[in-house]
């Protein structure tokens, strides 16, 4: 029963890491961009949902959906006026390096900006005070986490379906697969990049909205997740969206179940030990680095 409780907790946590990692993987797969500010957009989503629920008296699910449009717009803005400009300026021998540093700078701006606005004191949703649990036998299943996990699954599946079955999805996949070939056949690669970046930011903000239903937020909350996100993405195979999803779920399960055999304080050591072992055996991740999403 105890092991089953740990499996449930691992899946719930893994679902959130998976959704976060999928945004990061999508961005890397299409734009070849490592975004250090990805988890900070999640943090902004958490604050955004707190502000919206306080002013509009909505629940966290509706607040997260309401944030989708401004999040998408923020993604368009950041790509258009920061990422693209940095790439165009050729500030480094490789444009990816300049973009990487730009996202690092953006992360610092977002964290410090949030601290100026909301302060360093942790904040929570008032609804997070309610101790909502399903009891099934001796199992305790946390309701907000389960709702969060379900939303994560729905969003992940929707994103995969859009990528595979729609014109926009095919455009994005073509841009990811071979940029030059896509341009030659008339695909608007710049639009695909813009869209990909905005959707990735949108995913992070939605995850933030889910997470704040049970996790207190501070301006540094993103730092608690960014390493796990990168680990999941690399485990799954750089740029592989499905791989990132699997990587996130595996991470959640390993973090949770590792305490069955080793002390809890070493659970991150198990995660990163597994990661290193995997890199030795399969340097390109479980699913391999792919050019197809």
Given candidates 266, 276, 277, 279, which one binds another protein under the rule CB under 8 A?
A: 266
Residue 264 as a binder of another protein (CB under 8 A): the answer is yes
Given candidates 55, 129, 165, 186, which one binds another protein under the rule CB under 8 A?
A: 129
* Of 213, 203, 207, 219, nearest in space to 53 by CA: 213
Given candidates 87, 159, 228, 249, which one binds another protein under the rule CB under 8 A?
A: 228
C-alpha distance from residue 70 to each of 18, 199, 200, 287 (Å): 23, 12, 13, 33
Residues 12-31: x where in contact with another protein by CB under 8 A, - otherwise, as a string: xx------------------
Residue 2 as a binder of another protein (CB under 8 A): the answer is yes
Residue 146 as a binder of another protein (CB under 8 A): the answer is no
Smallest separation, CB 9 to another protein (Å): 4
In degrees and rounded to multiples of 5, residue 136 shows phi and psi of -120, 105
Q: What is the 3-state secondary structure (H, E, C) of the chain?
A: CHHHHHHHHHHHHHHHHHHHHHHHHHHHHHHCCCCCCHHHHHHHHHHHHHHHHHHHCCCHHHHHHHHHHHHHHHHHHHHHHHHHHHHHHCCCCCHHHHHHHHHHHHHHHHHHHHHHHHCCCCECCHHHHCCCEEEECCEEEEHHHHHHHHHHHHHHHHHHHHHHHCHHHHHHHHHHHCHHHHHHCCCCHHHHHHHHHHHHHHHHHHHHHHHCCCCCECCCHHHHHHHHHHHHHHHHCCCCHHHHHHHHHHHHHHHHHHHHCCCHHHHHHHHHHHHHHHHHHCCCCCCCCCCCC
Residue 216 as a binder of another protein (CB under 8 A): the answer is yes
Residue 145 as a binder of another protein (CB under 8 A): the answer is yes
Residues 63-102: x where in contact with another protein by CB under 8 A, - otherwise, as a string: ----------------------------------------
Q: Which stretch binds another protein (CB under 8 A): 73-81, 125-133, 164-172, 277-285?
A: 125-133
Given candidates 69, 85, 126, 282, which one binds another protein under the rule CB under 8 A?
A: 126
C-alpha distance from residue 243 to each of 61, 232, 236 (Å): 26, 8, 4
Cβ closer to another protein: 47 or 197? 47
Cβ closer to another protein: 6 or 76? 6
Residues 33-62: x where in contact with another protein by CB under 8 A, - otherwise, as a string: ------------------------------
First to last CA, the chain: 38
Residues 267-286: x where in contact with another protein by CB under 8 A, - otherwise, as a string: xx------------------
Smallest separation, CB 219 to another protein (Å): 13
Given candidates 63, 99, 200, 218, which one binds another protein under the rule CB under 8 A?
A: 218
Residue 180 as a binder of another protein (CB under 8 A): the answer is no
Binding site residues, another protein, CB under 8 A: 2, 5-6, 8-10, 12-13, 121-124, 126, 128-131, 133, 135, 140, 142, 145, 214-216, 218, 221, 224-225, 228, 255-256, 259, 263-268
């Amino acid at each position: 029963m105890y092991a089953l409780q740990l499996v449930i907790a691992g899946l719930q946590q893994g679902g959130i890491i998976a959704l976060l990692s999928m945004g990061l993987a999508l961005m890397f797969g299409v734009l070849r961009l490592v975004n250090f500010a990805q988890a900070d957009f999640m943090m902004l989503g958490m604050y955004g949902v707190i502000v919206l629920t306080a002013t509009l008296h909505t629940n966290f699910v509706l607040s997260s959906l309401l944030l989708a449009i401004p999040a998408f717009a923020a993604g368009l803005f950041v790509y258009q006026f920061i990422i693209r400009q940095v790439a165009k300026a050729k500030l480094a021998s490789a444009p990816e390096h300049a973009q990487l540093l730009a996202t690092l700078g953006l992360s610092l701006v977002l964290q410090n900006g949030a601290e100026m606005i909301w302060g360093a004191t942790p904040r929570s949703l008032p609804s997070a005070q309610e101790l909502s649990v399903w009891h099934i036998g001796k199992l305790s299943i946390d309701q907000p986490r389960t709702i969060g996990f379900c939303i994560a699954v729905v969003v992940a599946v929707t994103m995969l379906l859009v990528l595979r079955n729609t014109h926009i999805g095919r455009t994005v996949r073509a841009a990811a697969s071979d940029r030059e070939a896509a341009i030659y056949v008339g695909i608007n690669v710049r639009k695909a990049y813009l869209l990909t970046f905005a959707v990735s930011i949108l995913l992070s903000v939605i995850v933030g909205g889910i997470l704040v239903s049970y996790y207190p937020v501070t301006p540094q909350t993103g730092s608690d997740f960014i390493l796990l996100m990168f680990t999941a993405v690399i485990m799954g195979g750089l740029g592989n969206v499905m791989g990132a999803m699997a990587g996130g779920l595996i991470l959640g399960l390993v973090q949770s179940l590792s305490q069955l055999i080793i002390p809890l304080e070493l659970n991150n050591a198990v995660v990163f030990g597994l990661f290193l072992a995997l890199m030795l055996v399969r340097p390109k991740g479980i699913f391999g680095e792919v050019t197809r999403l």
